[in-house]
Structure 1
Amino acid sequence: MTEATFRSRRRQKFLTERFYELNKSWLSTLILENESEERNNVSPSDPAFAGIAGSTFKEKLNLLKLHYTAGSPIEALLPLYTDAVNALGNWHEAYLTYIKALAAESGDELREDSTPLEFEDLYAFQIAIDMVSLGVLFGDGAALRRIAVWLHPYRSDDILFEELVSRAVPDPQRDITEYFHVVPYDALIDSFYSPESPAASAAEIEKYLAGWYKAFEGAPWHDGHVHAAEHQIPYYGYWSFESAAISVLHNIDDRSFRDQLVYPKDLADWARANKSVERLAPDAGIDSITAAAGMRCDANSPCPRAGYWMTPAKRGSRRYFKLGEIMPEVASDYGATIWQWDSDQSDPKL
């Protein structure tokens, strides 16, 4: 791919092709090293185990953001989101194991309702909001329900979090008015909490987006694009996924703010076109899009089910694999090759 082609595809101007490739390699290496440590070198009761699991989750979320920023098709992000959700679950379990070991050592009472994503901390809260916002936009109700269980200590404590999971969970909390962080989320909450008019809702989101980046000054990722190193740059994309999720959930017209730098308009458009909100409910069933995200297989792994598979890494990649056949690697701009089950299992027409 030429630099000109990459620039035409990317969704934010700060990412160059060189740093896209470096960051992709850097994140993939960190993830592999972390997962190797988890499997081979660290006991689950060791405090370091939870730290490694947390790092793995954050790097997988960063990898998803990086691919979106670079212009990857939305469908290519679905398995990356599934990976991030699973990694969040692993972190949650590792953290509870650590808390249990700590309680046994100290004699203190065990808190089984703990979570490593403490909403009081703005950066931790933003990560939680990123994950549920992406779940809304991808139409992944099952993921939202899993996340709501892991973060149940904070259920009923924050109106924004509850609003984002409300269409997916069996116990939506409708009477919540409290929230943890007035800055920056106040305007976004005003967009859906007793809005005066549709135009007023859009104006509140526009206001929210205008102050979004500055409000996160001091966050670990802030100004990452100006701190390039030889091997990577700590920038994966600056995105307000929650503004798109609220816009889609409440059918707010985004024409007045869709070109703001941090608004992920392509994700919002995809969510509307694919009726993501309709697929969130517990009784919605598993549709072809969600099934494709769930039935996936990494390259160099045995095929888990005989049938037709495809990979977003290559156009025209659809082919038949036998059960147990090793899924091949495909050279591409997307990094690791991930094969997805094709919802259409009919034989190709001759």
Structure 2
Amino acid sequence: MLMADNEFFSWVLSYTAGKRLSDLSSQFESVVLAYERYQKAQGLFQRDSSMSPLGLENLEDYERSLQLISIAILIGRLDLFERLVNIIDHSYRSEDALYEEIVGKIQPGRANLEEWYHDQPYRTLLDAIDAIDAIDAEDKQSAANLLSQYCKIWYPAFKSCPWHNSHLSMTSTEGAYFGYWAFEAGAVAYLYGIDDSQISHMVYPKDLVAYARNQKRAE
């Protein structure tokens, strides 16, 4: 697991450092491959090849799962998205509303659920999705407001995670900080067409959402 997580942290650090998104798109496959290898190794040890290397019951693993599939969507690597979903689905298909909402925009016919693993901070993101599905223009503005609110409550919700406040231990030569990013907020904005023009929160990957939208227009 540590090797897979380190691949992910390295990728996010490169994004935080401002590496070209086109380069990051090709490099993301090494992250997906690392989790696939971990799943295979875990399967051999547990004698169950279908086990997901990321358990949605755990808040940190849940966020990691959403981040991974959201990054794949935003960089336009739906081949990698499918591989990630295949990893997670073995154990968690049709069990969490937000996961199904995000995956369902790429894979129609997914479950429509009213249950989810973690209320905080994810209920706000689910509310944003519900609002954008409404016809009323006021509700559509509400979706943008809820997305902004989600970004504000995202970081405090993870105070129990090891990476929380890692920026405070940074020195000129060492540290574990790799960046704080609510990639799933960007994926929801992109997939559901939510207006993010007024969102400027530090955890919102605005340039990555713009990249996804530009790639879509170029198709």
Alignment partner, residue 149 of structure 2: 207
Paired residues, what number? 213
* Identity %, equivalent residues: 29
Given the alignment of the two structures, is residue 122 of structure 1 paired with residue 59 of structure 2, yes or no? yes
Given the alignment of the two structures, is residue 69 of structure 1 paired with residue 16 of structure 2, yes or no? yes
Partner deviation per Cα, 1:82-107 (whole Å, 9 max, x = no partner): 1101111111111101101xxxxxxx
Partner deviation per Cα, 1:296-338 (whole Å, 9 max, x = no partner): xxxxxxxxxxxxxxxxxxxxxxxxxxxxxxxxxxxxxxxxxxx
Describe how 1:262-281 pairs up with structure 2 within 5 A. Answer: 262-275=203-216
Given the alignment of the two structures, is residue 56 of structure 1 paired with residue 3 of structure 2, yes or no? yes
Given the alignment of the two structures, is residue 228 of structure 1 paired with residue 156 of structure 2, yes or no? no
**Secondary structure in 1 matching 2:57:** coil
Partner deviation per Cα, 1:4-29 (whole Å, 9 max, x = no partner): xxxxxxxxxxxxxxxxxxxxxxxxxx
Paired letter, 2:155: Y
CA distance in structure 1 between the aligned counterparts of 2:72 and 2:101, rounded to whole angstroms: 13
CA distance in structure 2 between the aligned counterparts of 1:199 and 1:269, rounded to whole angstroms: 19
Given the alignment of the two structures, is residue 113 of structure 1 paired with residue 57 of structure 2, yes or no? no
CA distance in structure 2 between the aligned counterparts of 1:218 and 1:227, rounded to whole angstroms: 16
Match of 2:182 among 224, 240, 253: 240
**Secondary structure in 2 matching 1:135:** helix
Shift of residue 113 of structure 1?
Answer: 3.1
Contact 1:60 1:80 in 2 (8 A): no
Alignment partner, residue 38 of structure 2: 91
Alignment partner, residue 333 of structure 1: none
CA distance in structure 1 between the aligned counterparts of 2:84 and 2:78, rounded to whole angstroms: 10
Q: Which runs of 5+ in 1 are unaligned?
A: 1-53, 101-110, 280-350
Cα RMSD over matched residues? Answer: 1.8
Contact 2:100 2:112 in 1 (8 A): no
Given the alignment of the two structures, is residue 260 of structure 1 paired with residue 198 of structure 2, yes or no? no
Paired letter, 1:226: L
CA distance in structure 1 between the aligned counterparts of 2:195 and 2:36, rounded to whole angstroms: 34
TM-score of the superposition, structure 2-length normalised? 0.91
Q: Per the alignment, do residues 207 and 275 of structure 1 end up closer, same or farther by CA in structure 2, a change over 3 Å counting?
A: same
Paired letter, 1:234: A
CA distance in structure 2 between the aligned counterparts of 1:57 and 1:114, rounded to whole angstroms: 15
Q: Which of the pair has the greater relative contact order for Cα pairs under 8 Å at 6+ separation? A: 2
CA distance in structure 2 between the aligned counterparts of 1:201 and 1:62, rounded to whole angstroms: 30
Alignment partner, residue 183 of structure 1: 120
Shift of residue 168 of structure 1?
Answer: 3.2
Q: Which runs of 5+ in 2 are unaligned?
A: none
CA distance in structure 2 between the aligned counterparts of 1:144 and 1:165, rounded to whole angstroms: 9
**Secondary structure in 2 matching 1:193:** helix
Q: Per the alignment, do residues 71 and 178 of structure 1 end up closer, same or farther by CA in structure 2, a change over 3 Å counting?
A: same
CA distance in structure 2 between the aligned counterparts of 1:136 and 1:177, rounded to whole angstroms: 24
Partner deviation per Cα, 1:133-185 (whole Å, 9 max, x = no partner): 0011012221121112111210111111112222333x631412211000011
Paired letter, 2:152: A
Paired letter, 2:159: E
Contact 1:142 1:168 in 2 (8 A): no
**Secondary structure in 1 matching 2:120:** helix
CA distance in structure 1 between the aligned counterparts of 2:215 and 2:164, rounded to whole angstroms: 32
Shift of residue 194 of structure 1?
Answer: 4.7
**Secondary structure in 1 matching 2:11:** helix
Alignment partner, residue 73 of structure 2: 136
**Secondary structure in 1 matching 2:216:** coil
Shift of residue 230 of structure 1?
Answer: 6.7
Partner deviation per Cα, 1:208-232 (whole Å, 9 max, x = no partner): 1111111110111100011125742
Contact 1:187 1:208 in 2 (8 A): yes
Shift of residue 200 of structure 1?
Answer: 0.8
CA distance in structure 2 between the aligned counterparts of 1:137 and 1:172, rounded to whole angstroms: 21
